[in-house]
Amino acid sequence: AQSVTQLGSHVSVSEGALVLLRCNYSSSVPPYLFWYVQYPNQGLQLLLKYTTGATLVKGINGFEAEFKKSETSFHLTKPSAHMSDAAEYFCAVSGAANTGNQFYFGTGTSLTVIP
């Protein structure tokens, strides 16, 4: 069974400050991990993903995330927040093909950037 927990349904940061969005997962198989962003009234856009290999993955718009197996975490970071980063962020885990590539999403974190 797989699940995702996103700590903090709302996060506020000042423009230029570090962004840290937390994601912890549970998975009975090697996980594939994803971060998606949803801008207001839009669909979900892939920010980055971890499947295998390097545990620090870089995504679009300056975001990155690190897979830490020992902590079962996949936190999303960005060194300096921009106003345009204000959106809803979803962490997701996927397992093996026999689950139909089923994604399990976290409950989302709404990021507010304060000017």
Partner 1 sequence: DTAVSQTPKYLVTQMGNDKSIKCEQNLGHDTMYWYKQDSKKFLKIMFSYNNKELIINETVPNRFSPKSPDKAHLNLHINSLELGDSAVYFCASTLAGSYEQYFGPGTRLTVT
Burial group, residue 21, by CB count within 10 angstroms (0-12, 13-18, 19+): buried
User: Least distance in Å: CB of 98 to partner 1?
Assistant: 10
Per DSSP bridges, beta strands 73-78 and 64-68 are antiparallel
Q: Pull the structure tokens for residue 101.
A: 């590539």
- For residue 31, give the 3-state DSSP assignment: coil
Q: One symbol per residue from 74 to 103: x for binding partner 1 (CB under 8 A), - otherwise; what is it?
A: --------------x-x---x--x--xxxx
Nearer to partner 1, 15 or 39 (CB): 39
Spatial CB neighbours of 100, under 8 Å, sequence gap ≥ 6: none
User: Least distance in Å: CB of 33 to partner 1?
Assistant: 10
In this chain, which of 42, 55, 80, 112 binds partner 1, going by CB under 8 A? 42
In the complex, the residues that contact partner 1 under the rule CB under 8 A are 32, 34, 36, 38, 42-46, 49, 51, 88, 90, 94, 97, 100-103, 105, 107-108, 110
